[in-house]
Amino acid sequence: MEGLSYLVGANLYELDPDLKALLARYDPGFPERESLYRAFGERMGKEVLEVLYHIDQDAPPVLVMHDLDGRRVDRARLSPAQRSLLSSLRPLNRFAYEGQGWVPHFALGYLLADGGVYCILTITHQVAYALHKYAPEHREVKEALLYGEAFGATWMTEIQGGSDLGANRTLAIPEGEVWRLYGGDKYFASGAGLADYALVTARPEGAPAGARGLALFLLPRLNRKGELNFRVRRLKHKLGTRAVPSGEVELEGSEAYLIGKAEEGIYYTLENLTVSRLANAVAAMGIAQKGLLEALFRVKRRESFGRRLLDHPLVRRDLVDLRVRQAGGLALAFHAVAAFDRAWEERPPYSPRYHLARFLSHLAKNRTAEHAKESTALAMELFGGLGFLEEYGVARWHREALITPIWEGPSNIQALDLLEAMEKKGAHLFYLEELSALLQGHREPEAALALETAEKTLDFLKLEKEAVWYAKEALRRLADALAVAVLLNLGEGYEPLARLYAHRFLRGEEYPAWAGGLWET
């Protein structure tokens, strides 16, 4: 891959001052753990990026439907390089269960930030999470997912409903010690053909309609007779995230095990979505950071009209946009991670602390995805025609960024969930308390602007009869106000970035010319 990406051989941790600042704030074990982050950043540049490039360009998963004896196996064949990489990355999923919190997991996921490989790790993690909290009787499965070679998956959506989980048709009927699942086509099933165990939503016979009637089940790949428990119809041909096999799964009499209480299934499902939404947020900013670094290396090396691209004012303006989006988006993501870290052990019914964490996950997931999409497109543009060529790294980062607004619920879903959290849980009140606490003692104009923006946005939503129409813009405004507040708390060096973020995204004005000085070098 040398010559195809400027990141080859680079230490991605050492090139990331924002990550260092946020870990110093949010990871209590940062002084002892920094060597781990540094080593992982070095490994990314020296080894992992090349493997990820190989998988994406030359060796995506392939579905093998039958073995030599004609038996249906429905297995995704991975390249040896991908299998070896995944095996070496399994420790990323263990931190929370070994008493080290969630920040290290998401920090390393951010440095990895490959939509396919990190997705495989995340969906495996999600199954372990559900079993850890709500199905201790499946401890051996959890251990196999965390410490063995088993993979997990989360299959919730169906073809007729997509993000509308209440439209799910999969029916669950009890049969002795197991349940049988009928009539379900899990249509966008990441991990299809790879997962040994999957979390699936299904409606117990006689349960009410809608999302509230769904229960959560553990679906093993093999039934008690050792036979294939479900069928993979096909793998999908995707624009990005090629490392994770995504397919269509047919459930017809499949054996499954109820997780926790059937009537609480939707709560477990939403908890699981919170985990993956946070993963989506850090991955989005990790992808954006790779695009920023590619662009920065490029403009320092490339000459045009007699001088480096970096020395052109308009190029500096574009770099400022990349830098400001990166700092604000990453600050938002890790503040949401920290909130979840404080609340993750809670169970239904939840406290205000958990409702705040869920509220922040909507803000972070949505805004980081928007930033990643815009940033990687701009990074491609700074490369000119080379940015549009598939053999070079920067084009891939934009492809990978495009899934982040869609995964785990697009912006419309995030906005609707935000309104629901406000109306039913009063989560916006906890958000305002959090924002006010962050801004306490700050006299900068941006601090007052952030608080005023949040208060006016929430007041407007409460008074407006057509609140749904404005919910997406409110989602952005609340996220941007929080991003400014977190930046102001990262120390004196981040005050200019907080000013610029507020100027651009709260006031809606162009960056001032003095911002070009951020790139004096």
Average pLDDT over residues 79-98: 98
pLDDT at 166 over 90: no
Beta-bridge mates of residue 282: none
CA distance 43 to 93: 18
pLDDT at 521 over 80: no
Residue 225 CA to its chain's centroid (Å): 36
Structural domains of the chain, ranges and CATH numbers in brackets: 152-262 (2.40.110.20), 411-519 (no CATH)
Phi, psi (deg, nearest 5) at residue 251:
-110, 120
List the end-to-end C-alpha distance of the chain, in Å, as a whole number: 28
What pLDDT digit, counting tens, does each position of 98-138 carry?
999 999 999 999 999 999 999 999 999 999 999 999 999 99
Question: Over the chain, what is the mean pLDDT?
Answer: 97
Phi, psi (deg, nearest 5) at residue 332:
-60, -45
Long-range contacts of 137-140 (CB under 8 A, 24+ apart): 138/218, 138/257
Q: Determine the residue type at 202.
A: A
CA distance 193 to 514: 53
CA distance 505 to 42: 34
pLDDT at 424 over 50: yes
Three-class DSSP labels, 383-407: HHHHHHCCCCHHHHHHHHHCCCCCC
CA distance 220 to 179: 12
Structure tokens at 456: 């006016």
Report the percent of the chain where pLDDT is more than 70. Answer: 99
Average pLDDT over residues 363-384: 98
What pLDDT digit, counting tens, does each position of 251-265 carry?
999 999 999 999 999
Residue 115 CA to its chain's centroid (Å): 9
pLDDT at 492 over 90: no
pLDDT at 467 over 50: yes
Instruction: With cut-offs at 50, 70 and 90, classify the pLDDT of residue 520.
Output: low
CA distance 319 to 513: 12
